[in-house]
Structure 1
């Protein structure tokens, strides 16, 4: 009986020693984790907490901590991109407002100060002044439209839309301009009606912007094309040309607010940098997507993909 008691005491002692060592090990591991986290936060690094342990609970905790660190890095990156985008947007917006306002001021001063100006010259100046004011109003309206579209409570009514007719209508509206530019027009629209859940006004605005951009920037290729095709549960509208295209370094950014290529600020190529942003948001509001693929003087295409409906 006494021997059994000694054995039990020995076993309990061993268990206490093991528990003490285990608690000490856990405490040491938690201390290492705390120091590592503090170091990551202090130095703002993208490191992970990597500590070897056979404690299952601590392993699970490490997994969740590293997931949280990944999320934190994503938030920081998104914030940095948003901050940079906002800075560039303000810079571009100030440029796009300052230039026409300076021109408008010049015209006003000419009308006010130039006493030798003839009535005919005054008429020309008034006409140009009127055009510049309209351009400025258009720019401001586009900016406010984009702000409205990007708001969380913005919803557009959707209904069953036949894309065949929308595409034909928009190409026809540019027929005179295409003819005046001497462009070869390649239109591929199937006879079979293809339907999506969309908004006619939004689609007209999207295609108007894409077609006008293609003519403005791609007419040096001599060809304009529009292709409507059916995929597996999708309908694709591709608007393309064979012009100088868009350099690869710009392709990921053309949909950003107020982002314009250098030549878009040339008087020959007046662009606000808002059209593609608005088009992208409108397409996304119809559960679609838009993609750019460009090879200079070979093919530059904007591809809009929508979900097909068959009912």
Structure 2
């Protein structure tokens, strides 16, 4: 490919609107909001902690799937027929990034507590920077700074080896959640990738729940549990998924991954707002390191890691995706 992508119509087609070569506020704002919302999960975890795990997650994803499919229909986004490779990618994304991720987080929390999980997930920016291409020293340093800040904010905890292994599993699934979506976004767009992956997760979670809990996987939720599950479905899953998948091709995995450091920051702020505890000095230091790392990373425009490799058709916006074959 021609190395000169700075001028001409073909450059716009390769980079696409809002891509790192044409910076704008939309990608950073969406990525920051998405990861902050994911961080708010900590505030509702206790509310739904007594509800059967698989049943609760199945209900959450079922509600989110209904919302996302409704949005796709209202927006006029018709169903897109996928190739066998694309179907396999989407199924793997749903299995790893949604189903197994939730299992890993629950098990890691049981063995090591949320601090251990937050510490390991704090390395997501570094992992995405390494996997997103050839990171510049500036971007790699920024990712390391964000990971350090997330670790300080989350705390080191006192987990055991089992908890650490489950946390590492969650880290791998979180990376899959982004990397497996990149080849799908140009064709499907953010809404359809979110809707299709969430929909596929429902039968997987139901099957797992029936194997583990049997018919006890479902029961009528209490009012607080229903509110917590509804928040997870509509705000975290529906809104945050769309925002993240819309931001990902605009920023590239390396730069977008920096915002994963906001997950523990979101938990700290939400806990303080809801009166669950005032932030400590390490919390504030970690938040400051995360913000500094994000600013440093976003200033490294034009770095190889900041440009996701985009297949043909990537010039279309991630929110819309390509039109179905034969759509006219």
Same fold (TM over 0.5): no
Find the structure with the greater CA-based Rg: 1
Tell me which protein shows more helix as a share of its residues.
2
What TM-score, normalized by structure 1, do the two folds share?
A: 0.24
What TM-score, normalized by structure 2, do the two folds share?
A: 0.23
Structure number with the bigger relative contact order (C-alpha 8 A, sep ≥ 6) is 2
